[in-house]
């Protein structure tokens, strides 16, 4: 079922959804099931599965030559989505990115997803890998998320890269995109970020999932700006509880967002790890309750494949 259909059928009742990481190379699907089993009890409407590009590092050997080593990564997004839908009968949504794929690769992946009965894709440009100063698109690939949206829309209309294909069967993917209440870190300002968001919606995006945030006013302002610009598709807030001291610096560093002063001060005052977790969970629960009062279409939790904290929050609010 499409995300938009889930929202319509909920009749105003907010959805619960989660995002997980595929298992690391060398692990099996049971690692994913172990993460999801506790959350499946809460009947999530859908489960996002991230995609991780292949990366390499170079190390100097004793003879002075450089040797290329593959960084351990998380493959199998398409297969994990298929396994989730088969095992739990819950809609799984793969992340579809530009980096590392030609347009032909993307078309083949979408064909596979269509055969598997997957109805949704979350379209992203993707971040630069560690060896790139700036994002570098694959030769013959899509350079921007907007290009990728156009390719999905074309397939939804039965338009393939090979114009000679006759009697094509149209696909029917529901297209999700990301939104940044505190702007994407590469955008020069929020206004420019909003301009490109509107462009993606005009091209055919049907719902937005936001980057995580800890100050609800950032989300409220973002929604208001979207509506003023004529962006009227559902905007699902992305949520993650802060549960460790290191996250005070790691979350702003990795996700380019601010943490509220009140939250940071409470964490700094905490006596031990357990108290920090309690503070973070309480903040997240209160944050979610306020969002629900605002009338959000759902709450989307970034689990980082740690289900325990997400389950505690979800049980307190749903």
Distance separating alpha carbons of residues 141 and 144, to the nearest angstrom: 9
Distance separating alpha carbons of residues 132 and 95, to the nearest angstrom: 21
Whether residue 48 contacts residue 20, with contact meaning beta carbons closer than 8 Å, is answered with: yes
186-191 CB contacts, 8 Å cutoff, 24+ apart: 190/225
Distance separating alpha carbons of residues 311 and 114, to the nearest angstrom: 31
Integer distance in angstroms from the first to the last C-alpha of the chain?
A: 21
- If residue 123 lies in a helix (H) or strand (E), which one and from where to where? strand 120-124
Q: Which residues are catalytic?
A: 19
107-111 CB contacts, 8 Å cutoff, 24+ apart: 107/151, 107/155, 107/160, 107/161, 109/78, 110/151, 110/152, 110/155, 110/171, 110/173
Residue 63 buriedness (CB in 10 A; 0-12 / 13-18 / 19+): exposed
């Amino acid at each position: 079922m499409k995300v938009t259909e889930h929202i319509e059928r909920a009749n105003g009742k907010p959805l619960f959804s989660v995002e997980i990481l595929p298992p690391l190379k060398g692990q099996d699907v049971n690692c994913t099931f172990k993460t999801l089993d506790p959350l499946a009890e809460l009947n999530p409407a859908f489960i996002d599965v991230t995609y991780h590009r292949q990366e390499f590092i170079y190390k100097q050997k004793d003879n002075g030559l450089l040797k290329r080593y593959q960084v351990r990564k998380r493959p199998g997004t398409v297969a994990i989505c298929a396994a989730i839908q088969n095992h739990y009968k819950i809609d799984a949504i793969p992340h579809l990115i530009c980096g590392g794929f030609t347009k032909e690769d993307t078309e083949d992946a979408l064909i596979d997803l269509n055969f598997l009965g997957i109805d949704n894709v979350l379209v992203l440009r993707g971040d630069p890998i560690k060896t790139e100063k700036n994002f570098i698109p694959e030769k013959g690939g899509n350079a921007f998320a907007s290009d990728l949206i156009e390719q999905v829309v074309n397939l939804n209309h039965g338009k393939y890269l090979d114009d000679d294909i006759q009697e094509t069967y149209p696909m029917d993917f529901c297209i999700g995109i990301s939104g940044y209440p505190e702007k994407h870190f590469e955008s020069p300002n929020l206004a420019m970020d909003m301009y490109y968001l509107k462009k993606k919606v005009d091209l055919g995006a049907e719902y937005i999932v936001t980057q995580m945030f800890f100050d609800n006013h950032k989300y409220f302002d973002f929604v208001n700006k979207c509506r003023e610009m004529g962006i009227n598709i559902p905007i699902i807030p992305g949520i993650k509880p802060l549960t460790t001291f290191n996250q005070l610096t790691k979350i702003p560093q990795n996700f380019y967002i601010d943490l509220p002063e009140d939250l940071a001060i409470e964490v700094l005052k905490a006596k031990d790890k357990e108290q920090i977790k309690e503070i973070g969970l309480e903040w997240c629960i209160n944050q979610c309750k306020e969002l629900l009062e605002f009338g959000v279409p759902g709450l989307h939790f970034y689990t980082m494949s740690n289900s325990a904290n997400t389950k505690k929050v979800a049980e307190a609010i749903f």
